[in-house]
Amino acid sequence: MEAVEKWAADDFRSINGQLEWIIHNALKNAKRLKKPESMQEE
């Protein structure tokens, strides 16, 4: 947890914001994110 706290501080994010960013990137890298509805129609 200390590493996440330092990483968040280095990126000027809250710990919660950093965790959300980590999860979002993990989902994106695993191709688990759905495209927004507006982009699916293109």
pLDDT in tens, 17-36: 999 999 999 999 999 988 77
For 32, which DSSP code?
-
Is residue 42 situated within a structural domain? Answer: no
Which residue in this structure is represented by tokens 């191709």? 31
Is residue 28 situated within a structural domain? Answer: yes
CB-based contact 33:25 (threshold 8 Å): no
Average pLDDT over residues 6-10: 97
Using CA atoms, how far residue 15 sits from 7, 18, 26, 27, 41, in Å, is 9, 5, 16, 18, 35
Is residue 40 situated within a structural domain? Answer: no
Question: Which structure tokens are listed for 26?
Answer: 């993990």
pTM for the complete prediction? 0.74
> How many domains is the chain built from?
1
| Domain that includes residue 23, residue range | 2-32
